[in-house]
Structure 1
């Protein structure tokens, strides 16, 4: 073992816990610090250590090897609880005889790349992150060589964790500190140098481009300083690059309106050609064009699809359940084929892999959510915000050399006149079952509404065509809530839809309609 020192936990140790309650989709996510709401701390150092050991046992079984044959890399985002959790995880894996690469602050995609990069070739990886969630939360993402764990695979890991006894043993495996972000940044730089075709100097393919990066005080400041700047880009307008687990600037979430407004303002203030904003752990991204217009959400889906279809005409694109019908039409008009699938980044990626196998010769090359999660076939189906940003920046550089703008690719995309997204909390137990019952009842309700009809497209919730618009209602992936999205092509068209839905929802006592009522 190396001479690394890890800070002891400042959180209480939990002796009895139902490990399954830590699961949120395919990730572990829980309160990791004292917080203003007084929620109990569940993800302590000891709990994280136990879960990590269970992952190692699961991985050894998958690899048909001994624990001592495993090499596992461990990284973390900028959260205040991350350093201690990462340290506990590293020590726990070492006690199980695994070799550990400690990567300190790193992005989730970079941790995956430790399993694909010589000479590291990690057997698996653990990323300590809670993505865009509040600072007192933290979590763990688990990676094998084939990608992230599924929800069912995580259930197996947590079942094993429940059987393990806590305690310490003499470390057996080496813990080695590595700066993998330096390697990862070089990989991204090489992609840009190879992709920009009309550069006067291959060493500086981004010369003449001004790009403002907003790292949200997460891990992605490196994208500005270590990827774009060395290639000649002017990154002087970048902001919030320093890791800070308090997230003082704005929520570390490209879907958050205030976060997007911040980077949009920045682009116009500094006269940038392009803006890029990341979430905390770097697996989600959104862009801003030179006019300060957001290229996130539906626009990002359309833009990414347009770029992919230029290289792979006629291929399939997997999108998530809340995507606008205008985006579906846009992709189909470009010759692409669209599969609407249930939300959750692992869900769309899994479906993308399946379609690529099933739908030859066209195959599938992109699986993307409106949230900014995107995975491409030519990047190991890895959910990587930086890789998508690189692909789009390369396209922007090549278009700029021709006097064109990246936003031109989506000029034909029809935009709704109004759109709204609202969450409806569900009280009590078995929220998922309640959500599904509400959705089933809504399907019946729709048949009696003039001009309303269920659209048989998608594998989640219900999609409804309404006069001049669309409604999607689905269970939240992570929280005990219903997620409602409405868009219309008619000014003032949302209000009557909300009025009708609000009347329908009032029959369900477990639904908290306060947020919806504010929109009436």
Structure 2
């Protein structure tokens, strides 16, 4: 069996359909995953897909491959990725695949995978690749039964259970023509809220804007609609519904690490002294905030699969990462990243306030840079980070953290350099309490990068 190595990423399988990601490869991956599930004593496998145009045929290939191992398949159809995660809990199997390209361009698609309660990442995904190449899978005498089941009503009932809306608010929900729009509007329709839908009809062409709320340019239509309608605030979901972006009524973007402050404070009221997990990209302000509110800040490598692993390891009641993946793991939810559910919890918190946008805007903030990407040759990004980890010296810093790259913390700022797990770039980010602190942190850190490797080209 041939399979392009480039599609086996750190957090998922992803590629250009009919070029690097073919139906034959997806079917083969299904055979391996079905086999892995059976080896772990699992007898049921859930499959869902997002709204991409190539979703139906890739999902059909995956169902064929999984069922060929003899395992029972539950096909839940076109749903947000969090609904697939919910289905694996609902049916008690902890095993499933979302066929999704997430926020990538229309020509992409991919697979987010869980087996026996573990989200596959890093080496686990390379194991899948090796087994595909070696055709290391079971072949049953009869294919497993395939049942088509609608679990959206069950998901909605769970998501709305215990939700308390104190005051009627007006909100704009932008789904970017991703798969999450209809479910989001159905959820909001069950609540005492005035909801304005924006691009909530799934369309795999993504005709209005790219469904990636982590990029400010993709939030411009949402900001305009919030201002036009006089809404209290607005939120946006990514293409498969597992990430959340938020804007205030004045158009300020509340980045996920600030949003996590609001969720952490709320969670810690009922879970004092518990861990709150954040990824290495998040602001120092979040770290201080968690400690001030009686929690234990716990750092994780970047990547939804890796944050999920840290959540499983610590059993923390809440986790999040800078890209907008938010994980509620308390008595009300079940520990997977879910932009729709995070939007409901945000609505609950903000409904207690007379001026919701003021609550959002009042969260601690710092002066920071966007992610700076330094292109490298394939593999050189990881090689540089390894050299930098060994050779860098920051005797003037409060802390040097080497969980995922190198994060250096001073009393008034931090700097981060890490190797991207998806593209051959070094990702750098700087933050300071003031513009002066930001400038000093950036100059100090980049000087050390150049000392370790004088040839490195860092964009100004």
TM-score, normalised by the number of residues in structure 1: 0.80
2:2–2:133 CA contact under 8 A, matched in 1: no
1:240: which partner in 2? 199
| 2:52 alignment partner in structure 1 | 79
Any conservation in 1 of the 2:254–2:360 contact (CA below 8 Å)?
A: no
Of 83, 100, 117, which residue of structure 2 is paired with 1:110? 83
Unaligned runs of 5+ in 1: 1-14, 34-40, 199-205, 357-363
Closer, same or farther: CA 183–380 of 1 in aligned 2, 3 Å: closer
Whole-Å separation in 2 of the counterparts to 1:179 and 1:428: 43
Conserved? CA contact 1:75–1:105, under 8 Å: yes
Deviations 1:133-160 (A, max 9, x none): 2222211011235242243333333222
Corresponding residue for residue 256 of structure 1: 215
Residue 454 of structure 1 and its aligned partner are, at CA, apart by: 6.3
Among 485, 491, 495, the alignment partner of 2:435 is 491
**Contact 2:415/2:445 (<8 A) preserved:** no
Paired position in structure 2 for 1:419: 369
* Aligned positions of 1:30-45 closer than 5 A: 30-33=15-18, 41-45=19-23
Would you say 1:149 and 2:100 are equivalent positions?
no
C-alpha RMSD over aligned residues:
2.8
Residues 104, 374 of structure 1: alpha-carbon distance in 2 compared, 3 angstrom cutoff: same
Contact 1:435 1:481 in 2 (8 A): no
Q: Distance in 2 between matches of 1:504 and 1:334?
A: 35
Which of 286, 294, 298 is the aligned partner of 1:327? 286
Match of 1:316 in 2: 275
Correspondence 1:341 to 2:300: yes
Partner of 1:51: 29
Quote the Cα distance in structure 1 between the aligned partners of 2:71 and 2:436.
60
Q: SS of 2:289's equivalent? A: helix
Q: Distance in 2 between matches of 1:467 and 1:324?
A: 13
Q: 1:373 is matched with which residue?
A: 325
User: Where does residue 38 of structure 1 map in the other structure?
Assistant: none
Counterpart of 1:212 in 2: which secondary structure? strand
What do residues 78-114 of structure 1 show as CA deviations (whole Å, max 9, x unaligned)? 2222221111111222333333222222111111111
The match for 1:479 is 423
1:196 aligns to 2:164 (yes or no): yes
Check the 8 A contact 1:77/1:281 in 2, yes or no. yes
In the alignment, structure 2 segments of 5+ residues that lack a partner are none
Report the counterpart of residue 264 of structure 2 in structure 1.
Answer: 305
Q: Which moved more, 1:377-386 or 1:318-327?
A: 377-386
Aligned positions of 1:405-484 closer than 5 A: 405=356, 407-408=358-359, 411=362, 413-429=363-379, 431-441=381-391, 443-444=392-393, 446=394, 452-453=396-397, 455-457=399-401, 459-465=403-409, 468-484=412-428
Please state whether the residue corresponding to 2:314 is helix, strand or coil.
Answer: helix
- State the partner residue of 2:346: 392
1:98 has 2:71 as partner: yes
Q: Any idea what SS the aligned residue of 1:390 has?
A: helix
The CA deviation at 1:466 is 5.8
Cα separation, 2, equivalents of 1:114 and 1:484:
37
Greater Rg by CA: 1
Secondary structure, in 3 states, of the residue corresponding to 1:29? strand
Cα deviation, 1:232-252, whole Å, max 9, x if unaligned, reads 4222x3211111222222222
Residue 277 (structure 1) shift? 0.9
The CA distance in 2 between the partners of 1:482 and 1:157, in whole Å, is 26
- Tell me the SS of whatever aligns to 2:40: helix
Deviation, structure 1 residue 355: 2.6
CA contact (8 A) 1:71 1:99 kept: yes
**Residues 175/353 of structure 1: CA separation in 2 closer, same or farther (3 Å cut):** closer
> Could you say which residue in structure 2 is the equivalent of 1:161?
132
Give 1:60 shift. 0.3
Residue pair 1:342, 1:458 contacting (<8 A) in 2 also:
no
Work out whether residues 303 and 410 of structure 1, in 8 Å CA contact, stay in contact via their aligned partners in 2.
no
1:6 is matched with: none
Contact 1:418 1:493 in 2 (8 A): no
